Chain A
Amino acid sequence: MRFKFWGVRGSIATPGPKTVRYGGNTTCIEIRGASNELVILDAGTGIFQLGNTLAPEFPININIFLSHTHWDHIQGLPMFSPIFVPGNKITIHGAMDIVSQHSVKEVLSRQMEHAYFPVKETELAAELSYVDLQENDCIEFGETRVTNCLLNHPVLNFGYRVESAGKSLVFTGDHEWPYNIYDQTDPEYGAYQEIINARRQKIIDFFKDVDALIIDTSYDDIEYEQSKVGWGHGTFDKSIAAAKESSVKKCYLTHHEPTRSDDELEDLYFAALERNDISDSDPEFILAKEGVEFLA
């Protein structure tokens, strides 16, 4: 299984000289299964460039899995060229919006309303279909299977586990490790902590032993504690702890904070490796970088 990052930035695209090394596009990952079947995880602005490389394979079958429908994970979709070409088959999987009870199709068709985009969803030439995923659904095509796990973000967010011919990868989408909403002195603290612990264990089991864990690591831990609790994102120390605990082989840190320059990002990364005492027996930790392809 091969995978390539087409966007690693969180929240908003950040082109410019300070982000040129790691990249400024928002989340998009291309995965190729054992028989070259194409899976795309998230449709941030990075999917535009990816789409432009696919023409030689038309007509093509594409399975897109959206972690969630925040802008930075769907914004590239209307500009993804394969959707305009007849013969292409594109299936978009994701979680429905639980608050409004809207399906993925309904949520996405809004971003193509005429005030936002000149082409109507119904005018797209490719054969488009939508799947509202339920927790623990298993989608299979070719030698590849995709399972999911509900993670913690302000909207429903599915993490995905992609397996193909014995290799495996997990992508979290956006995820903040659930924390106890009670104070230690509250009577509810203990019971809530048990729920949180069980929830964490379920997620660790989902990550277990994968060849590649791609995990939301938006914040430095100090910045998180100071002002980002409840925003729905991970931190260096929490990602590192989870990767160690679930014995993954390699861990790719992504969803880089948009105000972060490449130099600042690396500084935080080096400091985190140091602080967490990374040794030979630990997973390898890598900063996700736009345009770079890896083998799982």
Chain B
Amino acid sequence: MQIIHEDLLAMVEAMPAFPQGVSKVLDLCSKADCSPKDLVSVVERDPVLAMRVLKLVNSPFIGLSQPISSISHGVAYVGMNTIKNIALTVAAIGMLPRENKANFDMDEFLQHSLGTAAVCKRMAGLKGVKETNSADYFLAGLLHDFGKVILVRQMPDQFSEALEEAQKKKLALDAAERMIYKIDHAEIGAVLAAHWALPEGLIRAIRYHHSAGDLSNPSLLEQIVMAGNLVVHRLGFGSSGNYYPAELPKSIIKNLGMNIDEIISAIGDTDSLFADAKAFAST
């Protein structure tokens, strides 16, 4: 299926952000003393806003010599005002409607994305990733399911069929998707990210978040995003419409030195870890 064609890209360009993100951006920017760090924290918590900023700052038109893989990194390179104007441009489009034809709960989805982001960042810390790079893990966790945002908007009938089939046949959602439309949300998200020239590591983390176990030499980011997603599923925080996710492959358990339960106990207090995600998603 030729899924990424020009009109799909055009539709994605005009995609509004989550209501939570939009109202916070408008609120912050209406104040004369809009605080840069508050604005960054909104942009890096809304998958659509984050994706749009990454897309523009990595645009081949300006050809920055260094790929930008986190929002704060973007601020330091193209400046606060540019990020603010990008956020306002997206906010002006409107808001993603809470109701959709696929019957997909966007609030639950946002919680799932934010929860995965938080877990990935915490896991990166546990694996000794430097503070400077932990924002990359947060963002990869946030954006791993971006393909679903596309599906909900552009192919709601097929996506809802995949959701139903997965439930009925007790299949992993990505498997049901491939059964029905020969591609899954991981691949769709990755193709889009690649089309927008996002950093290679991020594209791969999105593409392999259900299949890092098949790679001969998966990166730490790919493995953490795959495991982080499953941790959030296990903890039942939010929902991504996937009720029968595949197990974490043995090879990844071995590489990380932890299975899902061990990761959960290493993470410690998940209430405080998710407090921020809850606060953002529930407004």
Residues of the B chain whose Cβ atoms lie less than 8 Å from the Cβ of A137: 63
Interface of A is mostly: loop
**Is the Cβ of B61 less than 8 Å from the Cβ of A134?**
yes
A152 to chain B, nearest CB (A): 5
- Using known A-B contacts A99-B82, A155-B81, determine if residue A135 contacts B64 with beta carbons closer than 8 Å: yes
Please, which residue of chain A has its CB at the minimum distance from the CB of B79? A152
* Contacting residues of chain B (132-158) with chain A, CB-CB under 8 angstroms: 132, 134-135
* Contacting residues of chain A (143-177) with chain B, CB-CB under 8 angstroms: 150, 152-156
A102 to chain B, nearest CB (A): 10
Interface of B is mostly: helix
Q: For this complex, into which size category does the number of interface residues on chain A fall?
A: 20 to 34
**Is the Cβ of B76 less than 8 Å from the Cβ of A132?**
no
Q: Which of B77, B131, B134 is close to A150, meaning CB atoms less than 8 Å apart?
A: B77
A240 within 8 A of B: no
**A95 to B62, alpha carbons, bound, how many Å?**
7
Q: Map CB proximity to A onto B66-82 as digits: 1 under 8 Å, 0 otherwise.
A: 00000011011111111
**A199 to B66, alpha carbons, bound, how many Å?**
11
B172 within 8 A of A: no
**Is the Cβ of B72 less than 8 Å from the Cβ of A192?**
yes
A197 to chain B, nearest CB (A): 10
A105 to chain B, nearest CB (A): 13
Q: Which of A134, A154, A182, A195 is close to B73, meaning CB atoms less than 8 Å apart?
A: A195
- Using known A-B contacts A96-B61, A135-B64, A150-B64, determine if residue A188 contacts B79 with beta carbons closer than 8 Å: no
Residues of the A chain whose Cβ atoms lie less than 8 Å from the Cβ of B57: 98
**Is the Cβ of B132 less than 8 Å from the Cβ of A154?**
no
Please, which residue of chain A has its CB at the minimum distance from the CB of B38? A181
B89 within 8 A of A: yes
B36 within 8 A of A: yes
Q: Which of A95, A181, A183, A196 is close to B80, meaning CB atoms less than 8 Å apart?
A: A181
Please, which residue of chain A has its CB at the minimum distance from the CB of B37? A181
B166 within 8 A of A: no
**Is the Cβ of B134 less than 8 Å from the Cβ of A191?**
yes
